[in-house]
């Protein structure tokens, strides 16, 4: 047989998946591993989907997504961020933010184009770039900077081949947020070098300290930014698979072309559910966010008490403590912790080389489970001393 795709063969499977294949075989594991809300989707959202199915709404929608959902997203962004996107040609409903990331890369990249990606970052960014023929160029962000990338590092990574800067605040896996000043500087760099910005703001609502800074609202950013967002995190809707991309009409047209030939449209029943979420689900999501905020303090304090240096994250639902003082690598720490104390975390290096020396712990789980996990981690770290 002829060899299969080189780029796909060379891309490692997600470090998260490998680890959770092991976890699924074990009993009594307390998991701080999964990056999805432990809450059920608000009932009003599920019910809207059921009603719509009962009325026989099971057909294709416009390739762009239903005009009702696009209009509701446009209204939401106008109110929440003061952003103006035309629902007719500047908003595309995608199959999760995951699809938005993929088609954004395929729409803008030519073979060999480079995309600068602050790390540690969500596991899919670099593969998305590579699958689109591009070259990911990671730049490291550090705990002492609250895991916000330094604009100077971005500028230093620019070459004649650079096409885009990919940012995502609040960040998975660190929970880091970036200040308005930092983001403004990044936008200025993009303008200076005529680069696109891809801004994945899926955790925007889960910002606990101060305001969320929405990148396309910054001076000069709107025209060059592909803004990605979705329903998975803020509305506990991971399985519904609905996201959206907003950008200039020409970019959205290109993204739509790929979406049209590969997905056709996002599932209609999930679009109906998302419409209910964005129109009437704000309070439901606020109550989940309040609980994450409370858990954030408990887990951060707990990690520090357990002997792992951990900063209070500004957003998302992850902490990213350092395990450097244990002398173990991220993989060793995570595996030993799993087998000896039955706590599942994700090794930090799954999110890029500079995540080495850290573990990602999700607090999208109950306070009771967080407390049990912390007790076990404390015992484990003590044994290592």
Ligand X SMILES: Cc1ncc(COP(=O)(O)O)c(C=O)c1O
Among 168, 182, 207, 362, binds ligand X (CB under 6 A): 168
Question: Which residue has the closest beta carbon to ligand X?
Answer: 96
Q: Which two tokens stand for residue 185?
A: 């500087």
The β-bridge partners of 136 are 115
> Judged by CB, which is closer to ligand X: 158, or 269?
269
Selected range binding ligand X among 4-12, 42-50, 81-89, 230-238, rule: CB under 6 A: 230-238
Q: Is 202 in the site for ligand X (CB under 6 A)?
A: yes
Q: Is 206 in the site for ligand X (CB under 6 A)?
A: no
Q: Is 352 in the site for ligand X (CB under 6 A)?
A: no
CB of 325 to ligand X, least distance (A): 27
CB of 123 to ligand X, least distance (A): 8
Q: How many residues bind ligand X (CB under 6 A)?
A: 13
> Judged by CB, which is closer to ligand X: 189, or 202?
202
> Judged by CB, which is closer to ligand X: 154, or 234?
234
**What do you get for the CA distance between the two ends of the chain, in Å?**
53
* Contact characters 108-127, ligand X, x per CB under 6 A: --------------x-----
Q: Is 243 in the site for ligand X (CB under 6 A)?
A: yes
* Contact characters 25-64, ligand X, x per CB under 6 A: ----------x-----------------------------
CB of 263 to ligand X, least distance (A): 13
- Distance of alpha carbon 349 from alpha carbon 236, whole angstroms: 26
Among 238, 291, 304, 322, binds ligand X (CB under 6 A): 238
Q: Can you say how many angstroms the Cα of residue 139 is from the centroid of all Cα atoms in its chain?
A: 17
CB of 81 to ligand X, least distance (A): 18
CB of 106 to ligand X, least distance (A): 16
* Contact characters 270-299, ligand X, x per CB under 6 A: ------------------------------
- Distance of alpha carbon 289 from alpha carbon 268, whole angstroms: 27
Among 98, 179, 291, 304, binds ligand X (CB under 6 A): 98
Selected range binding ligand X among 94-102, 107-115, 191-199, 288-296, rule: CB under 6 A: 94-102
- Distance of alpha carbon 381 from alpha carbon 385, whole angstroms: 7
Among 216, 230, 355, 357, binds ligand X (CB under 6 A): 230
Among 41, 61, 172, 174, binds ligand X (CB under 6 A): 172
Q: Is 227 in the site for ligand X (CB under 6 A)?
A: no
Q: Is 14 in the site for ligand X (CB under 6 A)?
A: no
By CB under 6 A, the residues from 182 to 201 that bind ligand X are: 200
- Distance of alpha carbon 246 from alpha carbon 248, whole angstroms: 7
Q: Is 97 in the site for ligand X (CB under 6 A)?
A: yes
Q: Which candidate, 72, 69, 68, 88, places its Cα nearest to that of 80?
A: 72
Among 96, 176, 302, 357, binds ligand X (CB under 6 A): 96
Q: Which residues bind ligand X (CB under 6 A)?
A: 35, 96-98, 122, 168, 172, 200, 202, 230, 232, 238, 243
């Amino acid at each position: 047989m002829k060899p299969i795709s080189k780029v796909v063969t060379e891309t490692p499977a997600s470090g998260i998946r490998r680890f959770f294949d092991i976890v699924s075989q074990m009993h009594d594991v307390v998991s701080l591993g999964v990056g999805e809300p432990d809450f059920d989707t608000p009932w009003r959202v599920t019910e809207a989907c059921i009603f719509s199915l009962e009325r026989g709404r099971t057909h294709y929608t416009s390739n762009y997504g239903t005009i009702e959902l696009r209009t509701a997203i446009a209204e939401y962004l106008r109110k929440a961020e003061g952003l103006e996107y035309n629902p007719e040609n500047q908003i595309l409903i995608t199959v999760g933010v995951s699809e938005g990331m993929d088609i954004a890369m395929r729409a803008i990249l030519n073979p060999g184009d480079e995309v600068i990606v602050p790390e540690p970052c969500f596991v899919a960014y670099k593969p998305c770039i590579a699958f689109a023929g591009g070259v990911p160029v990671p730049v490291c962000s550090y705990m002492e900077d609250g895991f916000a990338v330094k604009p100077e590092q971005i500028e230093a990574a620019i070459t004649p081949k650079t096409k885009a800067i990919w940012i995502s605040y609040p960040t998975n896996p660190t929970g880091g947020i970036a200040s308005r000043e930092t983001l403004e500087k990044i936008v200025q760099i993009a303008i200076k070098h005529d680069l696109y910005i891809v801004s994945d703001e899926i955790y925007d609502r889960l910002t606990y300290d101060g305001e969320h800074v929405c990148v396309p609202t910054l001076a000069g950013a709107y025209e060059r930014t592909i803004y990605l967002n979705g329903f998975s995190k803020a509305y506990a809707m991971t399985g519904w698979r609905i996201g959206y991309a907003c950008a200039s009409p020409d970019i959205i047209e290109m993204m739509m072309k790929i979406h049209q030939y590969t997905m056709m449209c996002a599932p209609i029943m999930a679009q109906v559910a998302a419409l209910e979420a964005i129109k009437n689900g704000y309070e439901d999501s606020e109550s989940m966010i309040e609980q994450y905020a409370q858990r954030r303090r408990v887990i951060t304090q707990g990690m520090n008490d357990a002997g792992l240096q951990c900063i209070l994250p500004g957003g998302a639902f992850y902490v990213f403590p350092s395990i450097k003082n244990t002398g173990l690598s991220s993989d060793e720490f995570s595996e030993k912790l799993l087998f000896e104390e039955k706590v599942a975390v994700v090794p930090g290096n799954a999110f890029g080389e500079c995540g080495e020396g850290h573990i990602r712990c999700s607090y999208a789980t109950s306070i009771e489970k967080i407390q049990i996990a912390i007790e076990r981690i404390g015992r484990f770290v003590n044994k290592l001393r």
